Structure 1
Amino acid sequence: MSNFKTELYKALASGSSIDEIVRSEIESCVNFLLKTELTSFLDYEPYDTAGYNTGNSRNGYYARTIMTRYGDIEVQVPRDRNGEFKQQTIRPYKRNTDNLETTILPLYSKGITTSEISDLIEKMYGHAYTPATISNMTKAVEDHVKEIHERALNKRYAVIYMDAIYLNVRRDSVSKEALHILVGITPEGYKEVLDYRLYPTECAENYKEMLQDIYQRGCHEVLLFVSNGRQGLRDRYLEIFPHAQHQSCWVHIQRNVLRLVRNKDKQEVADALKAVYQCKTLKEANKALDDFIETYKDKYPKIQDRFENRDSLFSWLSFPKDIQCSLYTSNLIEGLNKQLKRKIKQKEQFPNEESLERFVCTRFMEYNQQFSNRVHRGFNKVQKELVDMFDQQYK
């Protein structure tokens, strides 16, 4: 909003009316929020290749005129090709907004700071709503926070992804803390955030505590856990789910290996390692890994140490081929984390843990709703095979 302030100061200095400047700023903000909402719904940025073959896409706009005290604003409401997108920034069939909560909560859920919302609401309605007042309004989200942490879960999940991202949180001072996240896919192929918790640092014991909680909430059978290979994690989840398998993310494995390699050799080593995790059978994969180690053990002896334990390297190969591409990395949850970080960039820090909880809860509830009726790639073809796997692992 720095440009808005510059234009405002110029108008005041020249004695000109500020109405058009404020009206234009409101129009820009609302149109930006609408575009952001559609991006969140579709789960990919404009022109991003991630949107190819998703079954839905952007499909132009339709115009609406909204009345404010500073004049009419023209908004371009984006549409999706399937007609499923329902924007929340502007109330349907209303030419003005008479309920501040219905305006503030969607803005807050999009990551706009309370100070920015306060400025925008004052421009739209001509009343001074302080950041503290708006922050109190957003505490209505707290009921949803409790619900997402306590809701009953499915008995079975084919796979659970585990990861953490670091966020700035203020306590006595501002410091980065680890938001631990669990994302599950049901045997039918539906994705959902099972739980999230904030801890000072990422460690295996934290995940164990979260797994104990989801077990108490009804999740008793899991076929596979996928994580970044953090030390001790496999042992901790086996304490809660002794019949499950574990897969270390091959993207993280590759990064760890390349840290041990000179720059001039990185591409060669990366290509050789890629050939290992692109194998189609366990026998082929073990043979390819043996060949890889043999090739580089003299030049880079520390590489061999990385593969002493193979328990979690090739678990994905025991699953049906139609879903294997989703199981050998933690890309699914990494993608969710990337989206979350984009939203959080608008908030330099969270003033307290409760503020973070409300913000993150809103994002994850939207994620769960978005994928509640979308089957993840390949899962519609492997229903019987997954049921058979559950029967074998949990007989």
Structure 2
Amino acid sequence: MRDLKKWILNDLMNEEAEEQINASRYERNSNRKDYRNGYKQRSLLTTDGKVILDKPQFRETSFHTAVFDNYSRVEKSVESIILESYLSGVSTRSVNKVIKSLGIEVSPSYVSSLSSRLDKTVNEFLERKIDGEYKFIYIDGTYLKIRNNGRYRNKAIYICVGINSDGYREVLGARIYDSETEIEWELFFDDLKDRGLNGVEMVISDGNKGIREAVKQSFPGSSWQYCHVHFMRNLRKSTGKQQWKFLSLLIKQALDNPDILPLLQDKLFDRGLDKCSTMFDKYYDSLYNYRSFNTNIQGLRRLRVSNTIERLNAEIKRRTKKIGAFPSDDSAMRLAGSIMIDINEEYVTGRKYINMEEINSQ
């Protein structure tokens, strides 16, 4: 395979040389741009091992080839292996093991430098201008272990997914912060608005207090929808296993239809579950905002839970699990941002998430 690859690549470079000087070997014509000047040997690391290639030389100009970039010694397929392994959540050390199993030696610094080439793509994606209105946005933070001042600590990646005017999901932005406070969420929202986010009518998230307060300040006139899944998880903490088994169905019905709430409140009172009853009273104005929008049953279900961003977080966690801890914020965002780019492509090319025509017809 090495001999075959060597023959093919040498032949390809000779074809490129003829195109660049506009003349084949020993051909005399008035359109010739330069003359051949022998060859220079160059090594190239391939998936079948190292090959020594004969790179054509010209007398007056430089020869350019697509076989390898200037000063590059690694075949593009090897770079693809490295990047795909990295984006799949494989650590730099493990990537080196994969490459060595192919009979190729690359340094850890090369793997790191290659991975850092993703920075430009990720930054362009996360800093892009946000066009159009996004009536609904999903907000959440997921935690990764990142080294900071010599010690490792959990830091939050804030993520925003929006529903565009056509009903498709889009990853609108992400930032790394130390924790989930009101001030930091406001900074995140300000960044989104500076990039063009507007028209927000409802924010769907878990019950994080920082998010709730920041939504009031950053999106006046909009409403906050408490994700029903997270609300039920918090309710379950205040009930026993047997009581939850009895009440969970009624609670789900009450979240579907507020008319059932008085019946549920009576049941909670009879069983001495005052904490659960208090939670319904406390968050009543945030549990049914989704019902104010005219859409089908599926659309209403998607507006009352933050499942879409929870799945995105789960994918980030899955792919970063093997890495364990990141050496810096940049390295964490490099991988998380690359995952978001992949998922965003699935969002914008897949099915509509919500029928915005029904909502806009209100």
Report the Cα distance in structure 2 between the residues aligned to 1:162 and 1:200, rounded to whole angstroms: 17
Alignment of 1:298-377 (within 5 A): 298=270, 299-309=272-282, 310-322=284-296, 323-377=299-353
Deviation >4 Å, runs of 4+: none
- 2:116 is matched with 139
Report the Cα distance in structure 1 between the residues aligned to 2:170 and 2:235, rounded to whole angstroms: 32
| 3-state secondary structure, aligned to 1:348 | coil
| 3-state secondary structure, aligned to 1:297 | helix
Q: What is the CA-CA distance between 1:243 and the residue it aligns to?
A: 2.4
Greater radius of gyration (CA):
2
Q: What is the CA-CA distance between 1:203 and the residue it aligns to?
A: 2.6
| 3-state secondary structure, aligned to 2:137 | strand
Report the Cα distance in structure 2 between the residues aligned to 1:335 and 1:135, rounded to whole angstroms: 28
Q: What is the CA-CA distance between 1:378 and the residue it aligns to?
A: 4.3
The answer to whether the Cα contact below 8 Å between 1:276 and 1:289 also exists between their aligned partners in 2 is yes
| 3-state secondary structure, aligned to 1:370 | helix
Q: What is the CA-CA distance between 1:188 and the residue it aligns to?
A: 0.8
The answer to whether the Cα contact below 8 Å between 2:47 and 2:102 also exists between their aligned partners in 1 is no
Report the Cα distance in structure 2 between the residues aligned to 1:295 and 1:126, rounded to whole angstroms: 68
Match of 1:210 among 184, 188, 208: 188
Report the Cα distance in structure 2 between the residues aligned to 1:103 and 1:264, rounded to whole angstroms: 51
| 3-state secondary structure, aligned to 1:175 | strand
Taking structure 1 as the reference length, the TM-score comes to 0.69
Share of identical aligned residues, percent? 26
Distance 1:121 1:271, change over 3 A: same
Q: What is the CA-CA distance between 1:333 and the residue it aligns to?
A: 0.8
| 3-state secondary structure, aligned to 1:174 | strand
- 2:246 is matched with 268
Aligned residues: 288
Match of 2:228 among 250, 263, 266: 250
Match of 1:179 among 136, 157, 167: 157
Any idea what the Cα deviations from partners look like across 1:167-201, whole Å, max 9, x if unmatched?
11122212222211111111212111111112222
Match of 2:144 among 167, 178, 185: 167
The answer to whether the Cα contact below 8 Å between 1:187 and 1:386 also exists between their aligned partners in 2 is no
Distance 1:307 1:266, change over 3 A: same
Structure 1, gaps ≥5 residues long: 1-65, 71-96, 280-284, 390-395
The answer to whether the Cα contact below 8 Å between 2:158 and 2:174 also exists between their aligned partners in 1 is yes
Report the Cα distance in structure 2 between the residues aligned to 1:138 and 1:113, rounded to whole angstroms: 11
Report the Cα distance in structure 1 between the residues aligned to 2:87 and 2:151, rounded to whole angstroms: 25
- Could you say what the CA RMSD is over the residues aligned between the two structures, in angstroms? 2.0
Q: Specify the code of the residue in structure 1 equivalent to 2:191.
A: D
Q: What is the CA-CA distance between 1:291 and the residue it aligns to?
A: 1.8
Alignment of 1:8-157 (within 5 A): 68-69=48-49, 98-99=75-76, 100-127=78-105, 129-157=106-134
- 1:219 is matched with 197
| 3-state secondary structure, aligned to 1:169 | strand
- 1:294 is matched with 266
The answer to whether the Cα contact below 8 Å between 1:221 and 1:241 also exists between their aligned partners in 2 is no
Q: Specify the code of the residue in structure 2 equivalent to 1:313.
A: L
Report the Cα distance in structure 2 between the residues aligned to 1:378 and 1:168, rounded to whole angstroms: 34
Q: What is the CA-CA distance between 1:305 and the residue it aligns to?
A: 1.7
Q: What is the CA-CA distance between 1:356 and the residue it aligns to?
A: 0.3
Report the Cα distance in structure 2 between the residues aligned to 1:150 and 1:273, rounded to whole angstroms: 41
The answer to whether the Cα contact below 8 Å between 1:188 and 1:375 also exists between their aligned partners in 2 is no
Q: What is the CA-CA distance between 1:388 and the residue it aligns to?
A: 4.4
Q: What is the CA-CA distance between 1:206 and the residue it aligns to?
A: 2.1
